[in-house]
Amino acid sequence: MTLAHTMVLLAIFIPIGFAAAAKIGAGKFDNTRPRENLERLEGWPQRSHWAQQNGYEAFPPFAAAVLVAHQVGAQQEWVDVLAVLFVVLRIVYGLFYIADLSAWRSAAWAGAFFCIIGLFLLAAQA
C-alpha cells in the first residue's frame, strides 16, 4: 500500500473526528437522535459539525483521484505529496472552520481542491 493509499484511509477518519468534537462540544448529547441534536448545535460545535459534513463531501473525489492516479501509473512521489497535502489541508480546514476563520478556511479548502485537480492532472500525464 502506498503512502497515498494510506492517506485515503486516514481521510476516512477526518469527518469522524470533527463529528466527535461536535458531540463532545455539545455537552449533554443524546445519541439516540444524533441528526436532530446536531442540527440544534450552535457556536464552535455547530461549525465542527459543518466541517464533518464537508469532509464527507470532499472524500469521494479525493479517493477517486488517488485511485485513478495509481491505476494509470502516475509519478508516485507526486501522488504521495499531493495526497499528504490534501489530508493536512483538510484537517487545517476543519480547525479553521471551528475557529470561525472563514478566509483561512476557504484558502485551505481551495488548496485541498487543487490537490485533487493535481492528482487528476498527474493521471492525465501518465
Positive or negative, the CA dihedral 59, 61, 62, 63 is positive
Residue matched to cell numbers 493535481: 118
CA distances from 122 to 63, 67, 125 (A): 14, 12, 5
Q: Work out the average pLDDT over 84-111.
A: 98
Cell 471551528 sits on residue: 98
pLDDT of residue 31: 79
**Residue 73 host element (H or E):** none
pLDDT tens-digit series, residues 33-71:
888 888 889 999 999 999 999 999 999 999 999 999 999
pTM of the model: 0.95
- At the top level of CATH, which class does the domain 3-125 belong to? mainly alpha
Cα–Cα dist 90/70, whole Å: 21
Q: Quick one: average pLDDT of 72-84?
A: 98
pLDDT band for position 113 (cuts 50, 70, 90): very high
Q: What are the residue boundaries of the structural domains of the chain, listed by start?
A: 3-125
Pick the closest to residue 83 from 18, 6, 12 (CA basis): 6
